[in-house]
Amino acid sequence: MSRVSSTFTRQLTSLATNINRPVPQRALHIPSLKPSPACSSIKRACNGELSILTPQFGQKRALHSSLPRWHGDLVRPEPGTGIKLIFRDSHGNDVKTVEGNEGDDILSLAHEHDIDLEGACEGSVACSTCHVIIDPEHFDMLPEADDEENDMLDLAFGLEDTSRLGCQVKLTKELDGMVATLPSATRNMYVDGKSSLVICDSFR
């Protein structure tokens, strides 16, 4: 009996010792995080927390914009420094000689200087009311009219071989001294297909 009691006592002592023995702690390994291409970098702070920097999606690009220029919104050049454009009536009489800057179109210059050139569609190539006849010398220097302009010219009154839409002819230095003759009338086509003929020759 004493032998059993002694064995039981040793087992209880061993169990108590194991219970009080501290359990070894395992180190938790966290793999290092690699920054994605969208982020500049990922840093680990001193307290163990992760700190993600602000994402960067490429370099910042500077943007700029310029105000649009509408027909009639022109800056007049200093007298004697601009590109000369001569307006004539259908009888060959000079109406007015004006000066413009490179890139100005005939329709805008006509409106700027009170020349009787209608431009009902305001330069959107939807009518033929800004039809003018260019002198042959300068006509050959112009870029060819596109299909859209040619379609509108087919509706123009008094069409000539050197006819162009004034809204589509822009001044260049080579066009200095160009003559734009105004037709005796203009034809405006409405949406319903009806035609309006306007007599615009007031220089008889």
Residue 110 lies in a domain: yes
- For residue 74, what pLDDT is reported? 76
Whether 8 is covered by a domain: the verdict is no
Residue 23 confidence (pLDDT): 56
pLDDT along the chain (204 residues), means of 10: 61 63 57 51 47 50 47 77 97 97 97 94 94 98 97 94 98 98 80 50 44
CA distances 69 to 60, 74, 123, 129, 165, Å, are: 29, 8, 12, 21, 18
Q: Check which CATH number belongs to the domain holding 151 and give it.
A: 3.10.20.30
User: Would you say residue 147 lies in a domain?
Assistant: yes
The pLDDT assigned to 126 comes to 95
Helix, strand, or coil (residue 11): helix
- Its pTM stands at 0.59
> How many domains would you assign to the chain?
1
- Least Cα distance to 177 among 82, 112, 37, 57 occurs for 82
What domain range is 176 assigned to? 83-189
Say if 56 falls within a structural domain. Answer: no
